[in-house]
Amino acid sequence: MDDRTHAPFLAANPVLVRCLSGAVRQDWTRAEIEALFDLPFPDLIFHAQRIHREHFDPREVQISTLLSIKTGGCPEDCAYCPQSARYDTGVTAHKLMDVAAVVDEARAAKAAGASRFCMGAAWRSPKDRDLDQVCAMVAGVRALGLETCATLGMLTAPQAARLKSAGLDYYNHNLDTSPEFYGEIVSTRTYQERLDTLNHVRTAGIHVCCGGIVGMGEGRHDRIGMIATLAGLPGHPESVPINLLVRVEGTPLAAAETFDPLEFVRTIAVAFRRPRGHE
């Protein structure tokens, strides 16, 4: 441990000493994560940056490009999402894109500096006939020398295995929020179903991209709960996106209160003070 972690207020708090060690753990408690949230802001930022620098080049940032390969018409009721068919948000539903068109978009993304290309589809879960086309997209994008990522909704174990065989590197499936607050945001998909999909993805050998959204009316205890769930997964996600709610007219969260930007930074610092991948 860096000598700078032994400030008097840390030496008097063995919980914080353990939390700030940088060790990879799956046994994080909510009390420990709350202790990190309660650190003075400069100390939290310092320690998050210290641990980050121990494992990553601080001057490097990965550029990723996300393409909606199937837009709108989703049957889910996620309160933040303008692609839900349940809300009048002005989003027009489109069919699944052609493989060649997706590969062209990926080629342009690579020319613009991206090294990862993510394909997103507004589905509750993909049909097997649609997965045939998505697998062809994955293979085509990977042939360009790009990391591949997809977010298609819930997956079965065989579907995850098919995506792995096609060359998929990452699968994004967010928890969104804490288990306790989840019912306030989504009613058409259970929290356990999200965890099941993550298990299928990990078992198939695909890297997990999983995080959540802040600013949806949750409390700090819910952000703590979300991070505790992520930290307690059998394998930590290789990528952890922490997103700030984009309020869209027509969605139930269009009038959500503006989220404190410093609390947003604090949440990122707590989530990213571990030595696995992040974005």
Predicted confidence band at 82 (pLDDT cuts at 50, 70, 90)? very high
pLDDT at 166 exceeding the cut of 80 = yes
Mean pLDDT score across all residues of the chain: 91
**What is the number of H-type helices and E-type strands within the chain?**
10, 7
Q: What is the pTM of this model?
A: 0.91
What is the model's pLDDT at position 13? 72
Which residues make Cβ contacts (< 8 Å) with residue 6, sequence separation at least 6? Answer: none
Would you state the pLDDT for residue 12? 61
pLDDT over 60 at 265, yes or no: yes
The secondary structure element, H or E, covering residue 65 is: strand 64-70
Q: In this model, does residue 29 exceed pLDDT 80? A: yes
Question: Among candidates 69, 86, 78, 9, which has minimal Cα distance to 44?
Answer: 9
Q: Does residue 277 register a pLDDT over 70?
A: no
| Mean pLDDT of the region 238-252 | 96
Identify which of 122, 177, 129, 127 has the alpha carbon closest to the alpha carbon of residue 150.
122
Does position 1 have pLDDT exceeding 60, yes or no?
no
Q: Say whether pLDDT at 130 is over 70.
A: yes
Q: How many Cβ atoms are within 10 Å of 43's Cβ, its own excluded?
A: 16
Q: What are phi and psi of 235, to 5 degrees?
A: -130, 130
Confidence check: pLDDT of 112 > 50 = yes
**What pLDDT score does 2 carry?**
44
Domains and CATH numbers, the chain: 62-263 (3.20.20.70)
7 band by pLDDT with thresholds 50, 70 and 90: low
For residue 234, pLDDT beyond 80 = yes
Distance CA 62, CA 34 (A): 29
Which residue is listed with tokens 């889910």?
A: 76
